[in-house]
Amino acid sequence: MPRTIKSAPGLPPEALGDIRDTVQIMLARIRAGGEATAQDYARTLDGWTRPIPVPQHDITAAETKIPPALKEALHYAHDNIRAFAKAQRASLTEFETALRPGLIAGQKVIPVSAAGCYVPGGRYAHIASALMTIATAKAAGVRHITACAPPREGGIDPATLYAMRLAGADTILAIGGVQAVAAMAFGLFGTPEADILCGPGNAYVAEAKRQLFGPTGIDMIAGPTDIAILADQTADPQRLALDLIGQAEHGPTSPCWLITDDADTARQTLQAIPQTLALLPEPNRTAARTAWDAMGEILLCADREEMARTADRYAPEHLHVQAADLPWWRDRLTAYGSLFLGENTTVAFGDKASGPNHVLPTSGAARHTGGLSVHKFLKTVTYQRVTDAALPDLARATATISHAEGMTGHALTAEARLPRPPLPRVVNS
């Protein structure tokens, strides 16, 4: 077992029951009251009294408010995200195969018809999230994409609005929180009902997605963002501290773990944390300090194999390797949302512009799932066709299994397809 150099005491638990009940009531009211109720929540919770659908002239005007350097950066990021998503789409193919003579089976890949993409607001303007969700749905071939973001004073942040348009949103709604998720799921404000909801959000947004899951698909139920860094004696402690605190900036509930097999690296990184925090402005500094004090952890392992086992057990959202022999780590590690190999490959690149999606599993969910990808917007469906050549064996096998299960009706439907013996020939005397 690794030795703990710095422990994570954690934060007081959230009142999850209160969140669950509040969301359930809000969804029921919006389902019954429709647009008027959603608009009322927007007025009460966001202070938004203007129309929810963003008019085209506001979307066009947003472009004039974007500095050229930011516009160039958004196009750079969008091109990477779209290219990666298209490559993912190309990796999933349709096929048809003859399993036996007369038994043909195949696979089709069909995009969902409508997607709802939530772009969070809050402490930061999550511009990159608009690109990650909308551009990926577009690359999958989704016919209609509705995007929502909480309005600030004057409306949706212009850079976020520009990113939504750039990525290909068909309808943009100025609405946030549970009411936004409900609007997309229920098809309010002239939009089709979303087949899938995606995008990060606060605890209320996550709970709304959880409660709507079933008839409506979701990407995942995301918790606070997290990072784990695997470092050996070749890593730079100052940079390790910066990479940890850079992710802690997300908020006070964000776990950040350093896993190392070198005691000096652990000690020097811990010593570098205070001056690293001092680099951040307020309120970022307070958010990062709270996260580090409550959720930060440094673990000292015996060797790199124990480091890898520890990382697999934590199953972090972001896993950054700053250690020698990167191919070994790439091939050995098995549980992470996205893997960042080498000192140069900071997690912030993946968060903003490098291409692979930043909507990733948190809270250990990387043990069983990956992040948002073009595949989330695609249905892999199957079909089959049976001709006379396959009927006798297939029908007999099906009937035999069905009888063994006690499912007589299934057996009869199979036996009805068995070739019937020819009628006896009548010979005239």
Q: Which are the catalytic amino acids?
A: 317-318
CA distance 295 to 287: 11
Amino acid of residue 123: R
Query: What is the separation of C-alpha 217 from the centre of its chain, rounded to a whole number of angstroms?
Result: 12
What is the full DSSP assignment across 226-285? -EEEEE-TTS-HHHHHHHHHHHHTT-TT--EEEEES-HHHHHHHHHHHHHHHTTSPTTHH
Tokens matching residue 256: 């950040």
Tokens matching residue 134: 């909308």
Phi, psi of 34, deg, nearest 5: 65, -145
- 184 close to 148: Cβ distance less than 8 angstroms: yes
Residue spans of alpha helices (H) in 141-236 = 158-167, 177-186, 203-212
Q: What is the dihedral of CA 166, 38, 42, 207, to 10 degrees?
A: -80
CA distance 251 to 296: 12
- 115 close to 377: Cβ distance less than 8 angstroms: yes
Amino acid of residue 425: R
Which are the contacts of 58, defined by CB distance < 8 A and separation ≥ 6?
155, 161
- 196 close to 116: Cβ distance less than 8 angstroms: yes
Amino acid of residue 35: E
Residue spans of alpha helices (H) in 116-226 = 127-130, 136-140, 158-167, 177-186, 203-212
